[in-house]
Structure 1
């Protein structure tokens, strides 16, 4: 849950920065003030662009790994990856001489943040694919064990059938011998 929360938080920070940058280019006078309708409009426009992409990403990748049983240990540490990108974001925001509005309105910072988020998405995708591959390998291992058990059962059954066939054959010959002896009055 923290993993997904931090992904969404990083995305939200990016949306806010993009919206402020767009507002700075479309409404430069209003952009330097807080809580204006222009920022809400720009945020809505940016969200209309990026939320469908985020939704598709979550549907394609994150939804599939939510049910994977890889062990609880992996989820204890997995959240640190989006947390690292979260720290990149806040390091750039707070350890800077510019104000947050100046940073957000600078297109270079927006592009840089875009590439950080793009890199984060690539890392998340690699992680999610690795988890899916891990689950696939676990399933294959389980199937292999089942096939080995079935093979052992089959081999055991084959041995039992061969033993039964030999016993039948021996019994048949024994019965013939007894029958022959009975006919010849040798019993």
Structure 2
């Protein structure tokens, strides 16, 4: 029985090395996986089983063989799991490395605590039953830290991953790099008394909590910076919205004044028409009616949808497009009761249409056009699609178009992605056959007004 437990501990060793730290990473990126999450789990278990078989084979050679090859084997499979993550997750290098290194720091913390407990309190016992005390210590330490660190990963880190700023992420991923390198160097230590020292244990705590704290502060600064940028952008579009609505009000006021004058002059026009009829001069009557029709005020007020905010944004960019000689077409079905805030829809739609107008202005095609479609999808989703002519080549990075004005991704594109993510949706950008397509899907709730309207 004791022999079977020892064998089981050898087999369990690689599973405790990998699965508790690889699976949380894939779950965090589950919407960016190239294959289903359950297939990822199966693949991780398969590779870990190979690791376990290899580790078991090493331990058949006794303590000396295990001491010689354990660290090398660990590093090799760490590299395999890292490469596999880059293959299975569709995300940038910086974001993948940032999460990988943070999870690795957590792994080193668990391993370091287990080494300390085994070396200080169970050294003689481990001589008779290798890996038993070590594995049990790892399980206990992992379970104690799991609720706190998983919350950190699935809230703070997951929210930060929605921020699209290539330049900042290029520096941010290096924060956990140095502490992780320190942990890797300590893994080569063969002196068991070093593991049993309080200095070793304290260094592991400083390594993990220092990395987490610095990362948290950096992410908070990044979040504050993003919030400030979003506020500035929202204020910009809010000011523009007010200008649009004022222009619409002035146009409508002028139109109503024209109609008032037309009604006032109607009596005189009817008198003239009656005079032509009495004289039987039909030719002059036809000319007079044609002249009067041309003098009537035109129906200049154009409505795109019932929502005043959305209508104002579309009206503004429709005017911008037509004044630039662009063809603008739209088909808008915007839900009456929708939980998407006016600020978010203004910024989102404004960015999409502004990018389309600017791209068309730069385009060299003879016929330049913009096509906007907004429509509900199912019971709780909204689709916003903007297509525009774009004959110039577009450079993409990880499916995201790079800015033509500055290095990296444009601010407008990042804003579109962030708002889509805020509503559990997605943004997709495509360039094909000289047409650039921006597609956004938002998920919204039925608000109280809609629910009450449905209750009779």
Larger RCO (CA within 8 A; separation ≥ 6): 1
> Distance in 1 between the 2:133 and 2:252 partners?
84
Aligned pairs for 1:60-71 within 5 A? 60-66=155-161, 68-71=162-165
In structure 2, the CA distance between the partners of 1:36 and 1:173, relative to structure 1 (3 Å rule), is closer
Tell me the TM-score normalized by structure 2.
Answer: 0.34
Give, in whole Å, the separation in 2 of the partners of 1:118 and 1:33. Answer: 34
Does residue 201 of structure 2 align to residue 110 of structure 1?
Answer: yes
Q: Which runs of 5+ in 2 are unaligned?
A: 1-95, 273-456
- How far apart, in 2, do the equivalents of 1:4 and 1:147 lie? 36
Does the 8 A contact of 1:23 with 1:38 survive in 2? Answer: yes
Aligned pairs, number: 177
CA radius of gyration, larger in: 1
1:124 aligns with 2:124: no
CA contact (8 A) 1:23 1:31 kept: yes
Matched, 1:145 2:236: yes
1:82 counterpart SS class: helix
- Say which structure is richer in strand: 2
Check the 8 A contact 1:20/1:31 in 2, yes or no.
no
Instruction: Tell me the distance in 2 between the aligned counterparts of 1:103 and 1:94.
Output: 11
Q: CA deviation at 1:109?
A: 1.9
Q: Is the 8 A contact 1:103 1:109 kept in 2?
A: yes
Partner of residue 26 from structure 1, selected from 113, 116, 121: 121
Structure 1 stretches lacking a partner, 5+ long: 183-187
1:27 CA drift (Å)? 1.0
Report the equivalent of 1:45. 140
CA distance 1:45–1:173, shift in 2 (3 Å): closer
TM-score, length basis structure 1: 0.75
Mapped partners of 2:171, 2:200: distance in 1: 29
RMSD (Å), alpha carbons: 3.2
